[in-house]
Amino acid sequence: MASTLQVNLGERSYPIHFGKDLRALIAAGHVDPLSAGRQHAVLVDETVARIHGAAIDALLGNSPRLALPAGERTKSLDVFGRALDFLAEANLGRGATLWVIGGGVIGDLGGFAAASYLRGIRYVQVPTTLLAMVDSSVGGKTGINLSTGKNLVGAFHHPSAVLIATDFLSSLPAREFAAGMAEVIKTGLLGDAALFERLEKTPLRPGAAHLEATIRRCCEMKAAVVEADERETATQGGRALLNLGHTFGHAIEQVTGFSRYLHGEAVAIGLAAAARLSCRLKLISEAEVARVETVVSAHQLPIRLAAPLEIGALMAAMQHDKKVRAGRLRFVVLERLGAAATRDDVDPELVRSVWNDIGAG
């Protein structure tokens, strides 16, 4: 049964529609891809285009289409330029709609292209991975990576709608599903102890009866945070809490050249690191750290680095994190399992010791 959640942001408000099948969501009238007089173009993940091309054809016909590879390296200046050239060559006007169909990488890149082309056109997010469904498709953060850091260039540009069709997950590789679970676990840790405890009791697997409800719960929580702190300007807490585990995770991705770990895998290690840092700050116990690591591991995710990385390089990468303010790095820490806070008074030596714990050298 399809359902809808509204993200309430005044004139920038938009719906998130949930269901099993994309065609059914369209047929239900949630979004009209053939609205009178509107141009459409499609930016899509190459693998999604290959597997689900017939469904995309049925929905959007012969609309101009650009297929791009998944993977963080696609979120680059070069590929961003290709996307903008594609929109221009399609001769899209300001009233056009860009359909962005894929995982978090395609969503971030496509959203930024929509924000930039003609100073902003409409776009519809169709996330096809678990990670994109529960996190990156919601909230309007778009962007690309630079050689010096992740997501350093971008814009806040909310979609006109998000269509979450869980049937896409049936073709998702097990490793990609597990990567998405890092964001689900994060959601439980930062604000929903009951969700965390359910994952602790029974790991969430593809095809689970409550999968759609879990995805919706993650979107509800993110929507509430975004509504309260849309542009991450709160001095404490706020939208920055959604980065639990990400300060460590982004550094891992940066130092490994975005090639060794999927984003969710790096975040999973980051969650273990954030738990250990919280313990060192005497906020949670060692037993609670063990609970976090057990849940992460139960979802086929890493809690330690597969091979040592130089601590100095990791610490330097952290300084390019978007949460750095006046030269001080803010960490998201756990006050308890199910509640998080931001801290900007963390001793760098504590951070170094955590890196050492999780396998840096």
Q: Which residues are catalytic?
A: 119, 141, 183, 222, 232, 239, 243, 246, 250, 263
Q: How far apart are the first and last CA of the chain?
A: 50
Listed residue (199, 196, 179) closest to 134, CA to CA: 179
- Structure-block tokens of residue 310: 């130089």
Instruction: Tell me, rounded to whole angstroms, the distance of Cα 221 from its chain centroid.
Output: 14
From its phi and psi, is residue 279 left (phi > 0), alpha (psi between -120 and 50) or beta?
Answer: alpha
- Give bridge partners of residue 341 from the DSSP assignment: 333
Q: Which segments of the chain are extended strands (E)?
A: 3-7, 14-19, 40-45, 65-68, 97-102, 122-127, 141-146, 149-156, 161-165, 331-336, 339-343
| Amino acid occupying residue 284 | I
Question: In the chain, count of helices (H) and strands (E)?
Answer: 13, 11
CB 205 within 8 A of CB 257: no
